[in-house]
Amino acid sequence: MASGAARENGSAFVIGTRGSPLALAQAHETQRRLSEALGIAPERFALDVIKTSGDMIQDRALSEAGGKGLFTKEIDQAQLEGRVDITVHSGKDLPNDLPDGLVIAGFLPREDVRDALICKGGPEGPTSFADLAPGTIVGTASLRRQAMVRRLRPDLEVALLRGNVGTRLSKIEAGEYGATLLAMAGLNRLGLAHHASAALDIDDFLPAVAQGAIAIVVREADALAREAATAICDEETGIRLAAERAFLAVLDGSCRTPIAGHARIVGDRVHLKGLVLRPDGSEVVEGEGEAPLADAARLGAEVGADVKARLPAGIFG
């Protein structure tokens, strides 16, 4: 099995990951799945925790600090140099284009794609958007969630809330914010789903492109790692992600525009719904379509182009 530089230490493959609790949970899931699929003890997949520039930024919206690449630059470097073989990324945080030499081998079976509403007061607190008192401060760093909240409830206050999942939950408990939104997927992976006051319906609160999906990245030339990764990846998730990522690629790579997109498979067709919001929530442009599974990426590009053509000039992006 071993052949890459990173495999000389006796590991079947070295898994590279960020160090946040969510990233570690995702890396452990990958390790477990690799172990089961290949019949190799889990400890032979060493974890290498890599600190990224993005981990150091706590005070600003990421959209202001330089975007998604901040969370992957150092990991990409380690992978290109052969220090790690298989890297694990939240699909949602992965840039549209990977550096030359790296490819997405696939995606693990997708988790719950919905956003969770988390409210002060826990089980005794509000259990829906409609229950939130006017003026409640909703903290989130996501432009999509900010714009959706403003659209659904213009009478609420939106404020910036950054940090990892645990930090955000504790700021709700401390009462600094009345509510926040987090991905159900992340809560589930961390065993924290009991903090969710509600899981929001996909049609009312369209998820981010790739939400709930874990991407497995390998070196393009590393046939062994690619084969191993393919063994744990889920084809349906890959098809849905192809549609969603193509939609996003047409609209915006910079993550300065509130965008949502979600694909599902119905029989032998892939259905995609996507939208762009004005940041203040006053306007939304939606697109929808369906295609055979083999045309998922084309569908995404077409729905994206259709939405783009209908965006009011000079407002978005």
Non-local (6+) Cβ contacts of 72 within 8 A are 52, 89, 93, 94, 95
Look up residue 33 and give its two tokens: 């799945």
Residue keyed to tokens 């053509």? 309
Segment contacting ligand PBG by CB under 6 A, of 77-85, 152-160, 180-188, 220-228:
180-188
Give the Cα separation of 111 and 114 in Å (integer): 9
Instruction: Find the length of the chain.
Output: 317
- Minimum Å distance from CB 185 to ligand PBG? 4
Segment contacting ligand PBG by CB under 6 A, of 86-94, 125-133, 154-162, 286-294:
86-94
Among 33, 89, 92, 245, binds ligand PBG (CB under 6 A): 92
Q: Would you count residue 212 as binding ligand PBG (CB under 6 A)? A: yes
Q: Would you count residue 4 as binding ligand PBG (CB under 6 A)? A: no
Q: Would you count residue 52 as binding ligand PBG (CB under 6 A)? A: no
Q: Would you count residue 260 as binding ligand PBG (CB under 6 A)? A: no
Torsion sign (Cα): 187, 184, 143, 16: positive
> What's the 3-state SS for 263-287?
EEEECCEEEEEEEEECCCCCCEEEE
Q: Would you count residue 215 as binding ligand PBG (CB under 6 A)? A: no
Non-local (6+) Cβ contacts of 135 within 8 A are 155, 156, 157
CA dihedral (33, 261, 115, 29) in degrees, to 10, reads 10
- Minimum Å distance from CB 186 to ligand PBG? 3
Segment contacting ligand PBG by CB under 6 A, of 40-48, 72-80, 96-104, 178-186:
178-186
Q: Look up 93 and say whether it is catalytic.
A: yes
Report how many residues bind ligand PBG under the rule CB under 6 A: 10
Q: Would you count residue 186 as binding ligand PBG (CB under 6 A)? A: yes
User: Which are the catalytic amino acids?
Assistant: 93
What is the binding site for ligand PBG (CB under 6 A)?
A: 90, 92-93, 165, 182-183, 185-186, 211-212
